[in-house]
A and B are shown apart, each in its own frame.
Chain A
Amino acid sequence: MKRFLLAAAGLLSLVGAVHAGTLDDVKTRGALNCGVSQGLPGFSTPNDKNDWSGFDVDFCRAIAAAIFNDPTKVKFTPLSAKDRFTALTSGAVDVLSRNTTWTMSRDTTLGFNFAGVTYYDGQGFLVRKSLGLKGSKELDGASICVQTGTSNELNVSDYFRANNMKYREVIAFGTLDETVKAYESGRCDVFTSDRSQLAAVRLKLTNPADHVVLPETISKEPLGPLVRHGDDQWFDLVKWTYFALLDAEELGVNQKNVDEMLSSPNPEVKRLLGTDGKYGEGVGLTPDWVVRIVKATGNYGEIYDRNLGPATPLGLERGLNNLWNKGGIQYGMPVR
């Protein structure tokens, strides 16, 4: 069934590839169609003002700002993990910004391009402090709660086998909330999931201070936005929106000072903001496209801090997601 669906979707993507020009479609439509998750803390959730907010959401707003100078011109389609790829191939969404892990199979066989890694996630362990564990190498003999049907399940068994450890049992539950309740009621010693998820789960525990996330990350989960094969200009636009957000942070251009920065003598800033050269035209936009982005959503760091950073309830440290010159691996290609 799944294979048939994918084959059908692939056929459709071939049909779709004939009339390229996603950017033109978006401009005619007057809005960007953006696929997000149906609710993931910090990445895409409906907020109290009845609007979508979050890290993945802001990325789509940045693209909309670059095209329309208006971050509200986005139509968000909440997609489940099952149907996100069908939605992208069928053209229901122009870009899929839905915490999707960049894997080889998704990149090569499904007919998608990953525009970059907006968030480096990885699987971690949440344990009770009372166990006195220092690291995940001491988890030998533990019982582990995990959500069923996720790659987390596979990663755990891989990790334990690779480190010559044995777990007592892996208990899998259908939904996240069930899994968390089971962990909290003591059914198992360890709860494992992606680290961003662990941070969100910790907020729901009765005594968050009694629990701690172990330092090790046991899997690579690079999350990023995807576009369809067949429209390289659109791919460039999405990719460079991501780089522009990083470059803006690296060069100190933020939502507050962007207007002052327009008169900056720094040649890199001048090229980025379009006061020197016409680099924006390369992605089908006007030279001041980055000014619009930064005014609307802020740079990468501001988006991160607003949705995930230490000041938010999630309180996720930048870690790997810091800029390359600040100890992380986020590296924006230069505008020149």
Chain B
Amino acid sequence: MSDSTSGQALSPHAFVSAAFREPEPPPTSDRGPLRWARAHLFGSVPQVLLTLFGIWLLYAVIPPLVRFFITDAVWEGTNRNACLPADVGHSVGACWPFIWAKINQLTYGFYPADERWRVNVVYALGALLLLPLLIQKAPYKRLNAIVFFGVYPVLAFVLLTGGNFALRHFLLGYLGFDGLFPAGAEVGGLSVAFWADFILSSALLALVAAGISRAVAGPGAGRGAARSTLIVMALLGVVLLAADVNFGLVPVETRLWGGLLVTLVIAVTGITVSLPFGILLALGRRSKLPLVKISSILFIEFWRGVPLITVLFFATYMLPLFLPGQLTIDGLLRALVGVALFASAYMAEVVRGGLQAIPKGQYEGAMALGLPGSLMMRLVVLPQALKLVIPGIVNNFIGLFKDTTLVLIVSIFDLLGAMRAAFTDPNWATPTTLFTGFGFAGIVYFVFCFGMSRYSMALEKRLDRAQRH
């Protein structure tokens, strides 16, 4: 077959091309950016219209923003005169010196200037501990998590408040057995009465727990119940000790907290409390035990049915009217509890959505393996369910972060509240102060919320290997 061996040199026909020609490049109208633009921007009449509209929108929005926040903005000054168009000589955009002047107010509220290092330490420690927790490859995950969720809150609490709470009564003291303990005695600044009370109460509680579980689950269960009660009480004791010891820190009332500090405290507390509580409530709502089920439903429906503003207002102004006169609960604490309960109820419904999406086969498979109920949830159902609802969970977190602003109505100045108060300073009253302030607050909120949203997307990507096509 000579055809098959015909090469260039052997070809008798000079007019027959010896080799395949390189394909021509597509016409200029069908390649490169032009083609991309035709395909994506100007493919059809509606597409052209949309593109033009988009361009017009960018043109209408971006240049004025740049002009206001950058080119026309005032960057330096000591009072309102720096930002007055009449004094500056041209139209004035953002008045940034206002933000510089108020930055401490916005970050710390009225936290005393000499004690601000404590807030900074809390911020820095939080960031240091959170970062490795978020990075998948960082080592010591378990230790890190224990420190972040167990030790850090106590540390932050002591640092921010100053600790040294003069604890005087534990359970027995409040129940009226004051006389059992020496009233004034102290060892190293700690009240003997309190700690004697605490130890005695723990022992009593352990006994009661042992008795109950013996009665319910038979003679063998008593010891275990007593042990777990004692462990819980020991942990509580460590926390109380940390709050009771005098570290020599000046006490700072929560009344003086403000700005970003309050926003973060409320948001972080709400977020860390709402997730475990939400999961418990969601499981409770699907439980087969009628009491657990009904109380979960009641809790969830109550908190979902009441606006957060009402909750906060009620906690702040109505609660003191019902409580006996000398018993006062810290204002910020009231708001924290309100926000946490509220967020838990919402979280429960999100998690329940995830639980419902798990097919029955997964449960049956777990049961067939002989896993008891708690392990089935922990190892099989919850990991899948939570993964499914990450967008919903993060959505809740972001909503909660922004909802913290509502505490303004109960006289707690969060970031936005501090900003609003700063607006009233006559030394900085200018035509653009308002826009500068809200612009800045918007940027701060955006940074936090966008960060959360990006992280959740990365997390989703990492976890949905099984479902990727």
Residues of chain A whose beta carbon lies under 8 Å from any beta carbon of chain B: 5, 8-9, 12, 15-16, 38-42, 45-48, 50-52, 75, 77-80, 83, 86, 90-92, 177, 200, 203-207, 209, 312-314
Contact = CB atoms under 8 A, between A and B. Distances in A.
Interface stretch (B60-68, B99-107, B140-148): B99-107
B80 A313 contact: yes
B424 A39 contact: yes
Contact of B411 (A50, A80, A90, A200): A80
A9 B422 CA distance: 31
B321 A45 contact: no
B433 to A, nearest CB: 7
B158 to A, nearest CB: 22
A15 B431 CA distance: 49
Interface stretch (B131-139, B220-228, B357-365, B413-421): B413-421
Given A45-B421, A46-B421, A79-B411, A204 B433 contact: yes
A90 B104 CA distance: 32
Nearest to B424: A39
B265 interface: no
A41 B426 contact: yes
B85 A206 contact: yes
B330 to A, nearest CB: 12
B289 to A, nearest CB: 38
Contacts of B430: 203-204
Contacts of B411: 38, 77-80, 83
B421 A83 contact: no
Contacts of A47: 425, 427
A203 B421 contact: no
12 contacts: A5-B317, A9-B321, A38-B417, A41-B424, A41-B429, A46-B418, A48-B101, A48-B102, A50-B104, A80-B411, A92-B320, A204-B430
Nearest to A42: B426
Contacts of A91: 325
B409 A50 contact: no
A107 B369 CA distance: 76
Interface of B: 80, 85-86, 101-102, 104-105, 108, 110, 113, 253, 255, 317, 320-321, 325, 409, 411, 413, 417-418, 420-427, 429-431, 433-434
A45 B426 contact: yes
A29 B417 CA distance: 28
Given A12-B321, A46-B418, A79-B411, A200 B255 contact: no
A8 B317 CA distance: 11
B351 to A, nearest CB: 35
A203 B426 contact: yes
Given A50-B105, A78-B413, A8 B429 contact: no
A50 B420 contact: no
Q: From DSSP, what is the main secondary structure of chain B's interface residues?
A: helix
A314 B424 CA distance: 11
Contacts of B423: 39, 177
Given A41-B424, A77-B255, A200-B426, 6 more contacts: A9-B321, A41-B426, A48-B425, A50-B110, A207-B86, A314-B426
A46 B422 contact: yes
Contact of A90 (B85, B86, B102, B320): B320
A48 B101 CA distance: 6
A48 B422 CA distance: 9
Nearest to B110: A50
Nearest to B433: A204
Contacts of A46: 102, 105, 110, 418, 421-422, 425
Contacts of B104: 50
Contacts of B417: 38
Nearest to B116: A50
B211 to A, nearest CB: 41
A90 B255 CA distance: 17
Contacts of A45: 421-422, 424-426
Contacts of B108: 50
A135 B413 CA distance: 41
A312 B425 contact: no
Contacts of A177: 423, 434
A203 B105 CA distance: 22
A8 B434 CA distance: 38
Contacts of A15: 325
B255 A75 contact: yes
Which residue, of A51, A86, A206, has the highest number of chain B Cβ atoms within 10 A? A206
B321 A203 contact: no
A313 B317 contact: no
Contact of B110 (A42, A51, A314): A51
B293 to A, nearest CB: 34
Contacts of A92: 320
Nearest to A204: B429
A206 B86 CA distance: 9
B425 A203 contact: no
A41 B424 CA distance: 5
B317 A83 contact: yes
Given A46-B105, A77-B411, A39 B420 contact: yes
Contacts of A75: 253, 255
A203 B101 contact: no
B98 to A, nearest CB: 10
A62 B66 CA distance: 47
B429 A38 contact: no
Nearest to B421: A39
